[in-house]
Every structure is written in structure tokens, then in C-alpha cells.
Amino acid sequence: MTALEVTGRLRPYGIMVADDTARVFDAIAQHGGRARFVGGIVRDALLKRDLYDVDIACDLAPEETVNALEKVGIRVVPTGLKHGTITAITDASAYEITTLRVDVLSDGRHAEVAFTDSWLADAKRRDFTFNAIYCDLDGAIYDPFDGETDLREGRVRFIGVAENRIAEDHLRILRFFRFQAWFGRPPIDPLGAEACRKAAKSLMDISVERIRDEMFKLLRSKSPASTIGDMIGFGILPVILPQLVQTDCLRIMQWLDSTALSDPAIRPDPLRRLASLFALEDVQGDADDQDDNLLAAEQFARGLRLANGQTDRFAAMISHAPLIDPGLSTETIHRDLYRIGADAFRDAVLLAWSTRASVPPRCSSSENEEWKHMLAIAANWQPVKLPIQGRDILAAGLAPAGPKIGVMLKQAEEYWLDHGFAPDQKDLIAYLAGQLLAGEQETE
């Protein structure tokens, strides 16, 4: 067994000190094995962040790990047994446990692995230095590549030769930039970035779903615009998502959703940030352009394999934002809120604001106040419902059942909107009766 030297200590907390966590570690130890935290949980613990997912490495073969856990009554799911990974499920949490391993063969997408008892060999096949830090249950740290220093200095660094790590798994290109957004500080590591640039075309072999998931993880970081700019500069996004170019717009969006606004309904949102990156050939606000924008957005979203609800929301943002400007009347704002709802209206305002503010002459202070005013109206909006239905028109004898009912409902709705939602059912029936009478008089 190739051992690792203890390089430091941390004070375990959160899920690391939970009773169920101790049960998992103890079960493996009782079976003659050794378990250690690894990856994200160690990285986050060193930075004193909230701890969520628990990744554990152990030196037992996968089947032995299963036996060890089941022996003490812990449920096991063989989530990736071929690659040495199982998931232990307790009342408190789920623990992903992977046997120490080395890559025997890899084509950049799939790897054949062999299990080992060498902690160093397991560490060498990982991607970045701060993802190869192990930690015992008592807080002893094993850091073979000085990942803690890289982490604290905001440096995302490949283990060994960057080109070799990327050749093993092409997705590491996107992971490099994702971790830069979450943990890195400028300047970006030049060796890693250059290796990613050289291998950028290999991303065409990666599934759209995996690319989408990595992009969403990146866009959830507090300030992703700088990293997105690096991805464009190093030729990564032009290969996989050439429509995403508006980094200035994203800079404004990330400022609005994470810093500038105090509305609790507004928070960093990867889909809205994705929309702020999306470039349209024409951003004018007439009906034909709105249809073109809608079609372009739907095609992009479907190509990225977004869920149906995400596709609809993304397309609505892209098509509606050009119709929003700081000069909208309160009546028009209320119409929009009624037709698309507060959430969709808020999306459109934020996208329109970030787009307008990102290009000269940008927004004046008075315009910024008007954007805020629109958001305040949305925050206080109470949904309203048209107080008349088709059966009310039938009951009043204004029209027989059929297509004319829909036409009259549309007339009533426009009248109701024009009068600030004030007319009630009786008022609308009276209005429709008057319109009907006027139409009959015109035909006499």
C-alpha cells in the first residue's frame, strides 16, 4: 500500500461529524478497510463553506465495501459499481463511496479502471490539485499536490501535465473553467488554459447534456462573467455554444441579481444569466422581430436539451425583453403582469435592463430608477382574473354557443384592461350588449 503523509489538519463540522457519517466510516474500518473524505467536501471544509455532498474514498474493493455496509444495516445502491462507486443511504444523508482506482484506458469520454490500494495512485488520476485532498474522520489532511495552497491562492491547477488530464476526460476542459468561476482568482492559470484551448474541439465529442450541466454549474457562481470571457478568449465557447457572447450583459446581470437589488424574489439564476449571454441578430421590439427572437431562442434551448419548462421560460425572456423599456406606462406594466405573470415580467425587465445598460450610452440614473420602479410594481402585483366567462355571455343571451363567444370574451378583456381592471361582470355584460347593439344599428 502506498501511503500518504499527513500534511495538516482541519476541524470537522457539519455532515462530517454526523452520527451516520461515523457509522459509515466505522463499518469500513471493521471490515479491515480505510475511508477518507475527498474532493468537494474537503475543499469546502478548508474554506469553511456549507457542506452538502459527501464523497468518500476507500481502499476496499467495491463488493467488500457493500458487504461492510450491509453488515451493519446501511442500505447500499450500486450507482457505478463498474467504476468502483456505490452510494450508502442513511436516514441523514447519502454517501458516495468510491474504491481507490487508476485509469487503465480512456478515450476522453469513457474510462476503463483498475482498483488499487495506493492512495497516491488514486490521487494522480484526479483532475485538479485541490480535488485530490483527502481527510480522515478526525480532520487529518493528506494533500499530495499542495492543493490547499492552490485553493487559498485562488489557483485552479491540473495535476501533472494538463494535456494528459484533458486527454483522459475531455469534460475537464469545462470543469477547469467552472472551478475557476467558483474558486479561482485572476489571472487564470496559463498552462491549464492553453491546454484547454488546444483541446477545445474535443468537446464536440461530449454529450450536450453534460455540456449543459457544466454551464449551469458555472453560471450559478457569484460572478461568472470574467470566466465566460476567458472561455470565449481561449476558444472554448465558440466551439460548443457560439451564440453565447454577451459578457458585458452578463456582468450587469450578475451585478443586478447578486448585489444591486434587495428584492428577495431576485437571486442568481443560471437560466436568466444564460439568456443574458445569448446574442440576437436583431433586438428591435416589433412583432416580426419578437417572433424571430422566439424561434431563435426555442431552437437554441432545444439544442441544449433544456427541459420543456426551461425552454418556454428562456424563449419568453428572449422574445419579451426587447419590448420592455424604462418609459413603459403603469397601464402597460399592469397589462404585461396580467398576461405573463410577475415572474416572467421580472425576468424580462432584468434582461432588458442588463442589455440596455451594457451598451453605450448605457442607462442614466433616472432610467435605473424607472427599471427599479417596474420591479417594485411586479413585487407588489396581485394576480387578477377577468370577471366574466363564456357562460355569463350565454346566460345574458348575447350570443349562442360557438366561436362568437371567444370573440366577445376578447372584446371584454380588452375593455377591462383599458379601464384598469375596474369593470365588474355587470359592467362587462353591459359593455358587450352596447357593442352588439351598435353593430346591429350599423347594419340597418
3-state secondary structure of 202: helix
Dihedrals φ, ψ of 324, to 5°?
A: -100, 130
The pairing of strands 85-89 and 94-99 is antiparallel
The pLDDT value given to residue 27: 97
8-152 has which fold?
Beta Polymerase; domain 2 (3.30.460)
The pLDDT value given to residue 191: 97
3-state secondary structure of 108: strand
441 has pLDDT over 80: no
Q: How far is CA 190 from CA 3, 108, 156, 218, in A?
A: 32, 22, 10, 19
Q: Give yes or no for a contact between 113 and 102, defined as CB atoms under 8 angstroms apart.
A: yes
Length of the chain: 444
**Mean pLDDT of the residues in the chain:** 93
List, for residues 327-369, the tens digit of each pLDDT value. 899 999 999 999 999 999 999 999 999 999 998 888 999 999 9
Dihedrals φ, ψ of 224, to 5°?
A: -80, -10
Q: Which three cell numbers stand for residue 216?
A: 449551469
List, for residues 210-238, the tens digit of each pLDDT value. 999 999 999 999 999 999 999 999 999 99
Q: Which is it for the CA torsion 424, 429, 432, 437, positive or negative?
A: negative
The pLDDT value given to residue 233: 97
Which amino acid appears at position 295 of this protein? L
The pLDDT value given to residue 288: 64
List, for residues 382-435, the tens digit of each pLDDT value. 999 999 999 999 999 998 888 999 999 999 999 999 999 999 999 999 999 999
Average pLDDT of the residues in 235-262: 96
Spans of all domains in the chain: 8-152, 170-379, 390-443
**Going by C-beta distance under 8 Å and a sequence separation of 6 or more, which residues neighbour residue 335?**
417
The pLDDT value given to residue 320: 94
C-alpha closest to that of 396 among 410, 407, 408: 408
- Report the C-alpha gap between 290 and 277 in whole angstroms: 18
3-state secondary structure of 135: strand
- Report the C-alpha gap between 311 and 315 in whole angstroms: 6
Q: Is 255 exposed, middle or buried (0-12, 13-18, 19+ CB in 10 A)?
A: middle
11 has pLDDT over 90: yes
Scored b (16 or more CB within 10 A) or e, 342-356 reads: bebbbbbbbbbbbbb
On whether the 170-379 domain is CATH 3.40.50.300, my answer is: no
**Going by C-beta distance under 8 Å and a sequence separation of 6 or more, which residues neighbour residue 28?**
34, 35, 58, 60, 65, 68, 69, 97
Tally: H helices and E strands in the chain: 20, 10
SS3 for 31-100 is CCCCEEEECHHHHHHHCCCCCCCEEEEECCCHHHHHHHHHHCCCEEEEEEHHHCEEEEECCCCEEEEEEC
Q: Where does 289-393 show beta strands of DSSP type E?
A: none
The pLDDT value given to residue 112: 82
List, for residues 159-192, the tens digit of each pLDDT value. 999 999 999 999 999 999 999 999 999 999 999 9
285 has pLDDT over 80: no
Residue that wins the pLDDT comparison between 283 and 423: 423
Which residue's C-alpha cell is 436568466?
272
